[in-house]
Amino acid sequence: MGAFLDGSYKKQHGGRYLNRYDAGRAIASEFRKLIESIPGKGVVAGLPRGGIEVAAAISVDLKLPLDFRAVRKVGHPAQPEFAIGAVDISGKYVRNPLLTDGEFPPQREFEAMVENELVRARDMEKELRGNKKSLIDGADWVLVVDDGAATGLTMLAVVHGLKSEGKKVYVGLPVASVQAVRMLEEVADDVFAVSVPEYFGAVGQFYEDFSQLSTADAKAYLDKYSEQ
């Protein structure tokens, strides 16, 4: 893992994060400067699944209750890995602002795609939460985190969703593209991006270990740290 020196995180491993937990400690080091000045009750929420491990490290270091926020990317019909939008569990969705209207499917088709992904987000919510109550519901503010942001669309959808519920929203990212940070700064109360490289490829390039987090491991983190 990374190291703290006089309260500050120092990235090791050739400038890359060892793993997602390591990345979470970097965000915690940045956010601790602000946390005492924020009134009300707060919670840290990770985007499933990898963001939950990032959030777990923050939960431990900053003594914040751990939760998650279900969200789904909306992929292009011809290239599903290419994000044309995203939808939050609340139903709030966003379109990729870098695309022209001609690059989107017809609006009716796009809305059907959003609805399909919303169903999957709700399935994810049930799988991870079970019968437990959302800690976000009782919070005044949320620090929402992920393991990185290339387009930033899933995080943007979540910010809009949380804002629609009256929450103050802070975004924490260990690494993000310039484009993603600028977009998120327009809607979030504050954005904490530890690293914003000029040239951004894939999130995984900034990690030594970027293996997938299993559903079982995500649930284990949530069970362990929800009572901070």
* Res. 14: pLDDT tops 70: no
Token pair, residue 192, equals 């904490």
* pLDDT (0 to 100) of residue 106: 93
Separation of alpha carbons 49 and 130, rounded Å: 15
Give residue-wise pLDDT tens across range 36-75: 899 999 999 999 999 999 999 999 999 999 999 999 999 9
Give residue-wise pLDDT tens across range 76-104: 998 888 999 999 999 999 999 999 988 99
Which residues on adjacent β-strands are paired with residue 17?
207
Give the 3-state secondary structure percentages of the chain, helix then strand then coil, rounded to 5.
Answer: 40, 25, 35
* pLDDT (0 to 100) of residue 10: 54
88-101 per-residue burial string, b: 16 or more CB within 10 A, e: under 16: bbbebbbbbeeeee
* pLDDT (0 to 100) of residue 8: 46
* pLDDT (0 to 100) of residue 6: 35
Give residue-wise pLDDT tens across range 100-138: 988 999 999 999 999 999 999 999 999 999 999 999 999
Q: Which is nearest to 117 in space by CA: 169, 154, 73, 173?
A: 73
Token pair, residue 81, equals 């890995």
Token pair, residue 15, equals 């400038």
Confidence of residue 165 (pLDDT cuts 50, 70, 90): very high
- Measured CA distances, 120 to 18, 117, 183, 214 (Å): 30, 5, 25, 17
pTM for this entry: 0.92
* Res. 11: pLDDT tops 70: no
Which residues on adjacent β-strands are paired with residue 46?
68, 145
* pLDDT (0 to 100) of residue 12: 56
* pLDDT (0 to 100) of residue 7: 39
192-221 average pLDDT score: 95
**Domains, in order of start, for the chain:** 3-70+130-225 (3.40.50.2020)
* pLDDT (0 to 100) of residue 33: 83
